[in-house]
Amino acid sequence: MEFGLFIQGYVPQYRRDQDPEAEHHAFMNELEAVRLADQVGFKYVWVTEHHFLDEYSHLSANDVILGYLAHSTERIHLGSGIFNPLPQVNHPVKVAERVAMLDHLSEGRFEFGTGRGAGSHEILGFLPDMEDLSKTREIWEDVIGEFPKMWMEDVYEGYEGKYWSLPARRILPKPYSKPHPPMWYAAGNTSSWEMAGHRGLGVLGFAIGRMSEFDAVRDAYKQAIATAEPVGAFVNDNIMICLAAYVDEDGSRARQQMIAARPNYLTSNVFRYHDTFPHPKGIPVWPEVIPDLSTEDVERGIRAGSTIVGDPDEAIAQCQRWVDAGLDQLTFGIGPGSQEEQLETIRLIGTHVIPKLDTEPLHRTTVQRLAAV
């Protein structure tokens, strides 16, 4: 199993109340975390794209962040988690051009993840007249199959679709990676996982919060991808999920760090904005927030596999459960918690956990891509 990091520009109000420069410090701290992750053996970093989502995510220009990271890192793969390719948000040609340029700047380390937006507040900012937000899937489907053509055809034949069009043009530059960077999709419900599998896309499973939710979607995806008709030149058979991690030499201290970090405030913001799926029973409606964690909550989360908490040996055992469940990549979100504690978590995972559980020198996506050349 491979390991990754996820950054999103989390700027909660309680930090801004204490630090007038909290937004700036959030970006600088995340960049520092990624540089360390690169040094200690993490294979991926995923950089989100969100718009208008106060507190939850201020990272809107992820291509800028990814360009910086292409220069300041050496081995870690740089993923868009996600680029939004809906034409009303980002013109598909400009997305294709940015992907290719980032692939050059990183010398083949770019991973192309896409999605459709976080919920009504974000989507309706660009599509104010849309009454049925599920139609964003139709718009996404109108776009996704054109990217490999833009990258691989000398002269792109052009496109005339329901939502966008383009005459025949040379799309430049062409990607550095041949035939093109790996392609991923941020999937939510089971049908989305199946769709990603049928299209040969890796899954960014941001919506999986505990191990009991994993088996059904894993099986649906793996069955679908076994007979994939990929939109790209190769199948990216990969599942990534994202969890929180708090690791310290002292396992008790790690648990206290998680409690002090107030991760439930971030979770409350998830449900504040991600309103395109049913609101779970028992979760308060914003501006009411989920109560802060107790010691019992932390232990319950460890048992459920929804977080990695403890000393390095505990972290190895908890990650091993995900290996046994058939996960391809476990990614840890950067956000709640002090910078010092998050850097120590990254260092300890890189020192103790990754050498035990990821013994392959090449990235899994690189192996799959090279097999198609």
pLDDT digits (tens, 9 = 90+) for 141-153: 999 999 999 999 9
Query: What is the pLDDT confidence band of residue 26, given thresholds at 50, 70 and 90?
Result: very high
pLDDT (average), residues 198-226? 96
Q: What is the pLDDT of residues 38-81, one digit of tens each?
A: 999 999 999 999 999 999 999 999 999 999 999 999 999 999 99
pLDDT reported for residue 276? 86
For the entire predicted model, the pTM comes to 0.98
pLDDT reported for residue 259? 98
CA atoms within 13 A on the CB side of 221: 30
Query: What is the pLDDT confidence band of residue 340, given thresholds at 50, 70 and 90?
Result: very high
Is 286 in contact with 268 (CB distance < 8 Å)? yes
Q: What percent of the chain has pLDDT over 90?
A: 96
Radius of gyration for the chain, computed over Cα atoms and rounded to the nearest angstrom: 20
Map out the domains of the chain as residue ranges.
2-145+179-372
pLDDT reported for residue 278? 83
CATH architecture of 2-145+179-372: Alpha-Beta Barrel (3.20)
**CA-to-CA dists, residue 333 to 120, 290, 340, angstroms:** 23, 19, 15
pLDDT reported for residue 209? 85
pLDDT reported for residue 277? 82
List CB contacts of 361: < 8 A, sequence separation 6 or more: none
